[in-house]
Every structure is written in C-alpha cells, then in structure tokens.
Structure 1
Amino acid sequence: MKTAACLESAVKHSSIDQTLREQYDQLTPRERLLADFILAHPQDLALFNTAELARMCGVSKATVSRLFKRLGFSSFREGRTLARQLRHQGVPVVEGGKRPAAFDAHLRQEEFNLHQMFQGLTHERLESFADALADARRVVVIGFRNSYPVALHLRQQLIQVRPNVQLLPQPGQSLGEDLADLAAEDMVILVGFRRRPQGFDTLLSNLARRDVKLALVADSSLVQAGQKAHWWFECPTDSRSAFDSYATPMCLVALMANYLLNASLESGRSRIASISHQYAALDELSLNSPELD
C-alpha cells in the first residue's frame, strides 16, 4: 500500500521536515515558500487542509499538492495523516528547526497531561490497587526501552515500603525463567509506553491469561488492551517538543508508593527505618552538604 510505503520511508528519514531539507534545493520558489512554513511550524501541519495551508503561505492549492507528490505522497492529506501517525507512535519530530518548543507551551502541555491523568484516577481505584500491592507475595515490575527507567524508579520506590519487588528484564536476560512460577498471590506491573519492542503484545496477552494480578501503565495507545488488566493507568506523554515527556508516569509512581505506604503503614515505617539503618551502617549515602572552597 502507498501509505505503508510512505510510512516506512518517513521513519527511515526521521520526519517530513528532514525530507524537505534534503530536497529543498530542488524545489521551485513557490514550493520553497510552502516548505519554509512547514519547517518553521511542523507541529501545525495536522491543523490545516490544503486550501488553508495554501492561503497562509500565499501559494496555490496546486503547489501544495505538487510539493507533497514530490515528497512521495499521493496527496497533502496523506502527508498530514502520516505526520499524525509518526508523532502518535512516539517518533521524535523536530519542531521549528533548531529552536526548542516555547517554554510556556511546554508547561501548558505538561499541566494538561497531569490533569488528564488525574481525571482518569479515583481514590478508590488507587486504594484497591495499593491493598493488592501490599498483600502480594511478590511484585514484578516490567519495562522495556523508554519504559524501563519508569519501571526502575517504580521498583526503587516500592521496595522502600515492602520486600520482594523484582525488576525485569534483567540485562541480557530473557523473561521466561522469571515468569514461570507466577501465581495468584503475585502481582505484575507492566509499563508499556509507545514504540514498544516486538513481542510486547504477546507478553501482555500471556500475562492476562495467567492467574496473576496485572496492572498496566501506558499511554492512550494501549487503552483497549487496558481492559485485559485488573488495573489500567493511562499516562499521557504528549509533548510540544520532539520527544515524549514522562512527567505523568513519574508522578504516578509517587502516588503508587504513597498509597502503598498508607496501606501498610506500620510495616512500611518499620521497613523504611530498617533501610535507613543499613544506609548508615554501610555509609552508602552522603547526607551532608558539600563544603565549597
């Protein structure tokens, strides 16, 4: 299919704006007017139709169509659809050349993401999750690629409050050995943000069929798959810059850890005190402010 071929080509060339830069010297003067606008405002490409884009750039609709056909698309609409698909899949799309996204716009997007996440949460759901988390015999946290740092941080926070929290996959290792003995007394927290590796869907389906409590933390691209889990936590990662933002999942990690502590306050406090004692005994942490010369 033409769209699939264009998607493969765009992924290869990173984004439409990079392809435009590569072909810029071959463009006509009118096409360059259009190209200059797209290069300066790539994040706005999905907002306009052919007529609107032509009017804003002072060119004809035929020029718009001709430019996108030069780039390998059947129409402007196909190019606009591709831009949406790429960003939705997490492909870093440069906005505005070398200039970063506007500071205020970035802040507003972060605030919007947090608001969206909290709208999807309830105190009751977090409490039920924390109760199950406290009662589980073993907790396994799984994350790949960009999800791995979130999973690592979640494991590090949970293990402050309760024992037997495992992070997977271990470097260079497969998953089968560690998942073979999962049982109903265990919980798996699967973190899966977009641009997931091959095999993720198979893993999710496998875990959903197992007799194990399953929580899924991901962006909206897994909202349908979230129905397979006992707990679904949606974290928007949209950003006004080229790269996704992980502010919302890190915020969720803090919420999960705090709810777990409240669900197991006595044992949690005792464990925190014991860990602090070990920090001191091993002299692992520097708690004093460094002296400056």
Structure 2
Amino acid sequence: MSLRIDERIARRRDELSPQERRAAETLLAHLDDLATYRAAELAGLAGVSKATMSRLFRSLGFADFDEVRDHLRSLRVTGEPRRVDGAPDLANQIAAETTAIQRTLEQPALRDAVEVIASARQVLVVGWRNSYPVALHLREQLIHARPRVAIAPAPGQVIGEELADLGPADVVVAVGFRRRPRGFGAFLTAANATGAAVVLLTDPSGGEHVGRARVRLECPVQGPLAYDSYAAAMSLVSVLADAVLFERGRSGRTRISAISDTYELLGEVE
C-alpha cells in the first residue's frame, strides 16, 4: 500500500472496533515519536491489549510494529517532515551538515557548471516550492557577477513564456530538490528542446532527471532532523557565484563596482 498511515486510519476508521479506534488515536497522537516506544507501551497508553494493537497494525496493512516504524522512516526519505528518532541531537546535526557541505563542494561537476554559467549569453534560474528560495538566492548572487540573469517562475505565473527566448548560447539552472512539482521532468525536457545547457541542482532523489541535464550538482538535504536542511545548497550557491565572478574577471569586478555606486546613488542599502 502506498497510503500514509494516517490516510489508512482515516479510510478504515468506520471498520475498526472501539478498542482499535482508541489504539488508532494513540498512534496518530504519537506519529512523531513512535521510535521511542515499544508496541506494549503504546497499547498501555491507549488502554488496550497488546493483541488489539497488533490487530490494528494488521488491519492497516502492516505485519507488525517494526513495519510501522519503517513506513514512517520511508516518509522522511521522501521529504515529509517526520521525527522518528527521538529528541534532536545537535552534535549529530552539525556533523551531518559538515559532511553534506563537503560532499557538495568537492564535486568535479562544479567546475563544469561555472564554465557554462560564466560564458552563457543569458541565464534562467528556475525553482518551485522549497527549491525557489535557493534559486532566488542564486539569481541574486549571479546578477552581481554577470548580466542577464533571470528567475522563474514569477509569483503566480507559469513557466512556458520564460523558455521562448532561450537558445544554444543560454543556460537554464534548474533547482529541483525533493518534493518537486509533478511537471518538473517535463520542464527539463522543454528546456533541453530550446538548445540551452541545463544545469541541475538536486538531491539524491533527483537521479531520474540526470539524463535531462548537461551538468548535475548534487546537494544532500536530509539530515537527522524532521525538516530538510539547505545548508549545503546555500554553500553551493555561494561558491558557484564566487567562481563565476572570478571567471568573469575584470568585467565582473567592474559590474560589482557599478552596482555598488547605484546603491549609493539611490540610498538603497545602509
């Protein structure tokens, strides 16, 4: 079954006995910390027998309590926020972030991405949902180093018109971390059809889209906490923009000076 445990309970609620419904309510109340309990403890919390709790697991399509916990871990792997490992371990989180950043910044493909972005006629940076803040930050950094960098989609808009002016001299940077919109693959196919080089920023779950990108940069986002972390992705943005600025040489430095002069003229920043 592909349904989440809460959906399974909702669908079968009317078929459950009063004791099983009480056990189901206890499960729902403890989804975020089930890993800290044993099946017998959950039964005690619900005020039902261990046999009743076992019957509930089977009626929901699980062989036993271990399978329930595996199911919750699988939800986390797909990006759904789920705390299944007890209290946060900040030392473990710091270690995970450090490893993720190191893996991200040591990729040989980073050099390839810098070259195509620095030399492109124009750059379109695209991201949806949780990928959009990373895409926006990348655009704001790149626009200091080189001209003609756009972000898409604009709020409330679609993406089709953004591809109309692209050609072989251009680059599309597609930011697509897990829980991507359903049409993400179709967008990459359309971007490739323009002749533009596609640079894909994604996490390990984006493997199915590798064939649609000229350059793939992988950024781990899953750590020991309930929510994904974009520390590695933001570090990649910083390093990528810095390298593009270096690659642009004097023109990049001149552009930054001109932007700073305009800030001062308009009094836009402190």
**Shorter-chain TM-score tier:** 0.7 to 0.9
In the other structure, the counterpart of 2:91 is: 104
In the other structure, the counterpart of 2:16 is: none
Q: 2:80 aligns with which of 88, 91, 94?
A: 91
Q: 1:265 aligns with which of 246, 249, 261?
A: 249
What is the CA-CA distance between 1:150 and the residue it aligns to?
0.2
What is the CA-CA distance between 1:129 and the residue it aligns to?
2.1
Matches of residues 128-143 of structure 1 in structure 2 within 5 Å? Answer: 128-143=112-127
Larger CA deviation: 148-157 vs 222-231: 222-231
Unaligned 5+ residue runs, structure 1? 14-22, 46-52, 287-293
2:121 counterpart SS class: coil
The two structures, once aligned, show a CA RMSD in angstroms of 3.4
Larger CA deviation: 271-280 vs 176-185: 176-185
In the other structure, the counterpart of 2:229 is: 245
Deviations 1:56-106 (A, max 9, x none): 99x999787445236x13313643442233112211113567x5x122122
What is the CA-CA distance between 1:187 and the residue it aligns to?
0.2
Task: Give the conservation status (yes or no) of the 8 Å contact 1:143–1:168.
Answer: yes
What is the CA-CA distance between 1:115 and the residue it aligns to?
3.0
Task: Give the conservation status (yes or no) of the 8 Å contact 1:223–1:234.
Answer: no
User: Percent identity between the aligned chains?
Assistant: 36
What is the CA-CA distance between 1:9 and the residue it aligns to?
1.3
2:199 counterpart SS class: strand
In the other structure, the counterpart of 2:71 is: 82
Matches of residues 18-33 of structure 1 in structure 2 within 5 Å? Answer: 26-27=22-23
Q: Which amino acid aligns with 1:154?
A: L
In the other structure, the counterpart of 2:145 is: 161
What is the CA-CA distance between 1:188 and the residue it aligns to?
0.1
2:216 counterpart SS class: strand
2:145 counterpart SS class: coil
Q: 1:9 aligns with which of 7, 10, 13?
A: 7
What is the CA-CA distance between 1:37 and the residue it aligns to?
9.3
Q: Which amino acid aligns with 2:22?
A: Q
> How has the CA–CA distance of structure 1 residues 41 and 277 changed in structure 2, closer, same or farther, with 3 Å as cutoff?
same
Task: Give the conservation status (yes or no) of the 8 Å contact 2:20–2:52.
Answer: no
Matches of 1:8 and 1:209 in 2, distance apart? 41
Task: Give the conservation status (yes or no) of the 8 Å contact 1:113–1:238.
Answer: no
Q: Structure 1-normalised TM-score?
A: 0.75
Deviations 1:14-57 (A, max 9, x none): xxxxxxxxx999249xxx8x999976463x89xxxxxxx67999
In the other structure, the counterpart of 2:15 is: none
Task: Give the conservation status (yes or no) of the 8 Å contact 1:141–1:167.
Answer: yes
What is the CA-CA distance between 1:166 and the residue it aligns to?
0.2
What is the CA-CA distance between 1:127 and the residue it aligns to?
2.8
Q: Structure 2-normalised TM-score?
A: 0.81
Matches of 1:24 and 1:96 in 2, distance apart? 25
1:182 counterpart SS class: coil
Matches of 1:206 and 1:7 in 2, distance apart? 36
Q: 1:185 aligns with which of 139, 145, 169?
A: 169
Q: Which amino acid aligns with 1:152?
A: L
Q: How many residues align?
A: 257
Q: 2:61 aligns with which of 61, 67, 73?
A: 73
Q: Which amino acid aligns with 2:71?
A: L
2:224 counterpart SS class: coil
In the other structure, the counterpart of 1:235 is: 219
Matches of 2:72 and 2:20 in 1, distance apart? 19
1:216 counterpart SS class: strand
Note if 1:220 corresponds to 2:173. no
